Amino acid sequence: MSALLFDPIRLGGLSLPNRIVMPPMTRARAGAGGVPTPLMTQYYRQRASAGLIITEGTQISPQGQGYAWTPGIHSRAQVQGWKEVTKAVHEAGGRIFAQLWHVGRLSHVALQPDGAAPVAPSALVADGVEVFIDPHGLGAAAGSGKKVQHSPPRALETEDVGQIVRQFAAASERALEAGFDGVELHAANGYLINQFLDSGSNLRADRYGGSLANRLRFLEEVTQAVAAVAGASRVGVRLSPLTTAQGTVDATPQASYVAAARLLDRLGVGYIHIAEADWDDAPAMAPGFKEALRLVYSGAMIYSGHYDRERAEEAIARGWADLLGFGRPFIANPDLPRRLRTGAPLNAADPDHYFGGGARGYVDYPSLPCE
């Protein structure tokens, strides 16, 4: 078997020892006020052998929170909590980006200080498009796909959009203060940036809706604002071209997402992170689609979605990907890179403890004995 997955690579000014990424995974272990806890510090430190860790979605404002016990990065206490996480990861030899998150139409009224309605590009979605709400915050692909009731959103006024752009920039500044090596914009899985991008969820008639160029405008403005703070090479963007979570369905996904990749190439971001649809009957992302993205984007490409070592090596060898994300395997295997390298068996994960709770099913999975 080849060892491409264990070749070093440069990313955003960082030297990564391998191409194995721990992608964002909501685990709902934050403390009161969305403050990262010592348990979270332990969890991320255990997984520092990844080439890159990308944190769970981290809300940029109270308005952007959709789920209980998810961390934020909009208060001083949250920044201090994240400082402990980044310090621990760096001391263990790792590298870590913060994923910046606004859930948009999924903002939960009960979690808002003023009980305000969620915000979204549009109050409605296109006719025939269903909204699936995943109460766990991983998107319908990774959650149960169960329909649950949710408060209807209000459409953002044109002048309100700029305020959210500024919140993303401020969150990026706080992430750097907290010691993160960079930031990833969550533009996937049916959340706010994705809601602007896809034709099924963006029914606006102003400069942020209608044409593809207009639907890409919010992504462009957020990326520019964050890059101005962090530097473009330290910014990644996560996209999910075929995921249909939360009503984000696009009429022409390949055309739309190739255009998004071309835009991000022009802006010079450090990487694009593709979340492949990975539920049981999900549509496959065709090789031609992956090749089209590679043709228009010159930075690093990360793919996540049901990868094992063999499929990951193939993706690198065929030129589609530079790095691969292993989500669920990292939950149960804190030493996953070593297990993949040696062919050691993987621990089985405990789905009953994916979301919320304490140490069980979070930091108690065993590592291999020291050699």
Tell me the catalytic residues: 191
- Quote the tokens at residue 289: 């689609």
Question: How many angstroms from the chain centroid is the CA of residue 146?
Answer: 21
Q: Are strands 9-11 and 14-16 parallel, antiparallel or unpaired?
A: antiparallel
Contact 37, 70 (CB under 8 A): no
Contact 237, 272 (CB under 8 A): yes
The helix-helix angle for 217-230 and 253-267 (nearest 10°) equals 30
- The Cα–Cα gap between 338 and 309 comes to 12
- The Cα–Cα gap between 290 and 273 comes to 12
- The Cα–Cα gap between 96 and 103 comes to 22
Contact 94, 50 (CB under 8 A): yes
DSSP reduced 3-state for 88: helix
For residue 155, the surrounding DSSP H or E stretch is strand 154-155
Query: CA angle 338-342-347, nearest 5°?
Result: 65
Q: Residue-wise over 274-309: b if at least 16 C-beta within 10 A, else e?
A: bbbbbbeebeebeeebbebbbebbebbbbbbbebeb
Cα–Cα distances (Å) from 292 to 194, 223, 317, in that order, read 20, 22, 16
Per DSSP, helices labelled H in the chain are 38-46, 76-91, 158-177, 192-197, 212-215, 217-230, 253-267, 287-296, 309-317, 328-332, 336-342
Nearest to 46 by CA among 6, 97, 85: 85
